[in-house]
């Protein structure tokens, strides 16, 4: 039995938290089974077993599953509202000696009271209105709220004006394998069960914008994230013969200066402005010490988007790479001039700027490849250690293809690495999008009238969420720049692009209130999250259903 009230949601949340469903571990499989098991006990799903499913994720070596449940409205309707969320959590290394209590919030909170905490966390602990633990905020409370609402709807489906679906996925904190795998299922289920998705609501947590901010937030979209990479091919030479070579790390350094935190790559919409590009990895590709200039290096960047397409980003990254290349050459020319003057030798620097895309590399190699290149690529990827990070697999594949690339001159190869999250906003283009905005207005009014709470609408949730995969807001061709330029597309990482381009479900995020997600001080604000969020969510669903 799941009760849709303060106690019921709290109890369910603790049960969900007790399973350590850390991304990419067997805990995720256990979590899916528990969620499924809880719903399976409801009389509604005993009578309608076809409406509760554990769905496989295509090509997932860990064999994780997506939980899907549906409560159909009494008088048959097509319109369906999806409640969604992720059931994985991030790791607990930061919990130190208290790690074993991370999944027992009551005990963990008790033990934290004996620890020295950062000021804001200490104040919250002292208030008694917060509970600490891994996943309490991100996002097992949100899942419990959704499940409780679904359970309540299942008791009396005749009262519903729209069908209520529930979709819980793994791996959101990692590569979003769950939600990417769910896209095709959503399309099939829509047909199979006669549904028409009018909105998807996520219950990711959001905290106050600043310590003195007492607004609550509702989000009508989610920011996009894309990861351009740069593979630098220099020229090796002994350090004693410096000017005969080109150090790949010099190009990488200039690229980082050209791109890190660069203001004209900051994407924004209205007054919502997002973080600038930042380098997530920059390394040479040599494993051993040598007195030779490093010939290869790689760097990849996090870029947040709310307007730019992969094709546009590829073009601007090519320009940044060309800029970096010529800055490196200028740098060497200055040094060579000074060296020539001192030594009396005539040293020239003749490197020509060369930037190609990964797609161009692949195409050229394919033309010259002795045999079947795609078979070779498949075998090569399969031969890489399973434990290797997806990004490192992709980078390794670039190196493999370079063996067959005829031109050995220095160059920079530009492409993308996984994961990719398209941005998704409410553009007010469709009837469904307009209805969602009307429902949002009603929720804000309800929050003010019934609870004296001021809610603010924010267009893009900045925290990167699975809501990105409820449809691509652009032309399908614009995604081609992504798939053509991601090494190991389909073998290492995949998004069902055709389905993604066809899906168009307006999204909302209306979640509980939490702080310090992913940290050892992750905590949930109890009164708002257990008393008010569930009522506002129910109100939002009812408003949408009636639209």
Q: Which residues bind Zn ion (CB under 5 A)?
A: 138-139, 204
Nearer to Zn ion, 79 or 86 (CB): 86
d(CA 103, CA 508): 28
- Report phi then psi at 338, rounded to 5: -65, -40
Nearer to Zn ion, 204 or 433 (CB): 204
d(CA 20, CA 103): 6
Q: Rounded to 5, what percent of the chain is helix, strand, coil?
A: 45, 20, 35
Instruction: Give the count of alpha carbons within 13 A of 480, CB side only.
Output: 4
Look-up of token digits 């061709």: 477
Look-up of token digits 């530009």: 414
We find the least distance from the C-beta atom of residue 76 to Zn ion, in angstroms, to be: 34
Residue 203 · residue 146 · CB < 8 Å? yes
Instruction: Give the count of alpha carbons within 13 A of 84, CB side only.
Output: 29
We find the least distance from the C-beta atom of residue 93 to Zn ion, in angstroms, to be: 18
Supply the DSSP string of 91-105, one letter for each residue.
--GGGGGGGGGTT-H
- Report phi then psi at 426, rounded to 5: -95, 105
Nearer to Zn ion, 138 or 433 (CB): 138
d(CA 367, CA 362): 9
Nearer to Zn ion, 357 or 509 (CB): 509
d(CA 434, CA 430): 6
Look-up of token digits 């949730």: 461
Residue whose CB is nearest to Zn ion in the complex, by number = 138
We find the least distance from the C-beta atom of residue 175 to Zn ion, in angstroms, to be: 14
Nearer to Zn ion, 484 or 522 (CB): 522
Nearer to Zn ion, 425 or 512 (CB): 512
In angstroms, the Cα distances linking 70 to 5, 82, 163, 195, 459 are: 21, 9, 7, 10, 28
Nearer to Zn ion, 171 or 295 (CB): 171
| Closest alpha carbon to 193 in 68, 83, 85 | 68
Nearer to Zn ion, 138 or 267 (CB): 138
Nearer to Zn ion, 413 or 508 (CB): 508
Which tokens go with 508?
């909302």
The Cα angle at residue 13 between residues 164 and 519, in degrees rounded to 5: 115
We find the least distance from the C-beta atom of residue 208 to Zn ion, in angstroms, to be: 17
Count Cβ atoms below 10 Å from residue 112 Cβ, excluding itself.
Answer: 22
Residue 169 · residue 87 · CB < 8 Å? yes
We find the least distance from the C-beta atom of residue 424 to Zn ion, in angstroms, to be: 16
We find the least distance from the C-beta atom of residue 176 to Zn ion, in angstroms, to be: 11
We find the least distance from the C-beta atom of residue 524 to Zn ion, in angstroms, to be: 13
We find the least distance from the C-beta atom of residue 293 to Zn ion, in angstroms, to be: 43
SS3 84: strand
We find the least distance from the C-beta atom of residue 172 to Zn ion, in angstroms, to be: 6
d(CA 528, CA 533): 6
We find the least distance from the C-beta atom of residue 19 to Zn ion, in angstroms, to be: 16
d(CA 459, CA 399): 41
Nearer to Zn ion, 179 or 444 (CB): 179
We find the least distance from the C-beta atom of residue 84 to Zn ion, in angstroms, to be: 11
Nearer to Zn ion, 138 or 522 (CB): 138
We find the least distance from the C-beta atom of residue 204 to Zn ion, in angstroms, to be: 5
Instruction: Give the count of alpha carbons within 13 A of 107, CB side only.
Output: 10
Nearer to Zn ion, 163 or 202 (CB): 202
CA-CA-CA-CA torsion sign (454, 458, 462, 467): positive
Which tokens go with 398?
């670039």
Nearer to Zn ion, 163 or 206 (CB): 206
We find the least distance from the C-beta atom of residue 371 to Zn ion, in angstroms, to be: 45
């Amino acid at each position: 039995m799941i009760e849709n009230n303060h106690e019921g949601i709290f109890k369910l949340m603790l049960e969900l938290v007790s399973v350590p469903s850390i991304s990419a571990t067997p805990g995720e499989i256990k979590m899916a089974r528990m969620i499924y098991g809880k719903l399976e006990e409801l009389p509604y799903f005993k009578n309608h077993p076809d409406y509760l499913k554990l769905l496989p994720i295509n090509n997932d070596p860990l064999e994780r599953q997506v939980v899907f449940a549906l409560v159909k409205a009494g008088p048959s309707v097509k319109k369906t509202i999806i409640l969604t969320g992720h059931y994985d959590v991030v790791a607990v290394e930061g919990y130190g000696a208290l790690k074993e209590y991370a999944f027992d919030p009551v005990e963990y909170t008790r033990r934290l009271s004996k620890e020295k905490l950062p000021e804001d966390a200490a104040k919250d602990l002292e208030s008694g209105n917060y509970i600490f633990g891994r996943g309490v905020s991100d996002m097992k409370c949100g899942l419990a709220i959704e499940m409780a609402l679904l359970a309540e709807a299942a008791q009396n489906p005749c009262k519903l004006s729209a069908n209520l679906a529930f979709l819980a996925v793994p791996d959101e904190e990692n590569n979003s394998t769950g939600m990417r795998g769910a896209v095709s299922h959503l399309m099939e289920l829509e047909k199979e069960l006669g549904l028409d998705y009018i909105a998807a609501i996520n219950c990711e947590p959001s905290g106050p914008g600043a310590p003195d901010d007492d607004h609550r937030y509702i989000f009508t979209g989610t920011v996009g994230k894309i990861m351009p990479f740069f593979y630098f091919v220099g020229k090796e030479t002994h350090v004693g013969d410096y000017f005969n070579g080109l150090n790949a790390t010099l190009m990488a350094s200039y690229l980082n200066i050209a791109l890190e935190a660069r203001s004209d790559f900051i994407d924004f919409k209205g007054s919502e402005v997002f973080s600038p590009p930042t380098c997530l990895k920059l390394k040479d590709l040599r494993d051993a010490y040598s007195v030779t200039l490093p010939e290869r290096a790689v760097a990849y960047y996090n870029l947040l988007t709310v307007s730019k397409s992969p094709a546009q980003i590829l073009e601007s990254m090519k320009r940044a790479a060309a800029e970096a290349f010529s800055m490196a050459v200028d740098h060497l020319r200055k040094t060579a001039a000074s060296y020539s003057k001192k030594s009396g030798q005539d040293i020239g620097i003749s490197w020509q700027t060369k930037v190609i895309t990964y797609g161009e590399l692949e195409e050229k190699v394919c033309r010259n490849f002795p045999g079947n290149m795609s078979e070779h690529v498949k075998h090569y990827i399969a031969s890489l250690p399973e434990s290797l990070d997806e990004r490192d697999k992709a980078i390794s594949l670039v190196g493999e293809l370079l063996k067959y690339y005829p031109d050995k001159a220095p160059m920079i190869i530009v492409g993308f690495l996984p994961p990719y999250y398209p941005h998704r906003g409410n553009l007010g283009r469709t009837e469904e999008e307009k209805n969602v905005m009307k429902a949002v207005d009603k929720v804000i009014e309800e929050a003010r009238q019934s609870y004296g709470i001021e809610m603010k609408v924010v267009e893009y949730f900045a925290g990167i969420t699975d809501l990105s995969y409820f449809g691509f807001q652009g032309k399908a061709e614009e995604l081609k720049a992504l798939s053509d330029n991601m090494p190991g597309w389909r073998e290492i990482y995949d998004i069902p692009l055709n389905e993604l381009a066809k899906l168009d479900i307006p999204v909302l995020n209306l979640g509980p209130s939490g702080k310090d997600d992913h940290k050892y001080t992750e905590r949930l604000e109890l009164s708002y999250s257990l008393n008010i969020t569930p009522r506002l969510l129910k109100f939002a669903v009812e408003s949408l259903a009636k639209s």
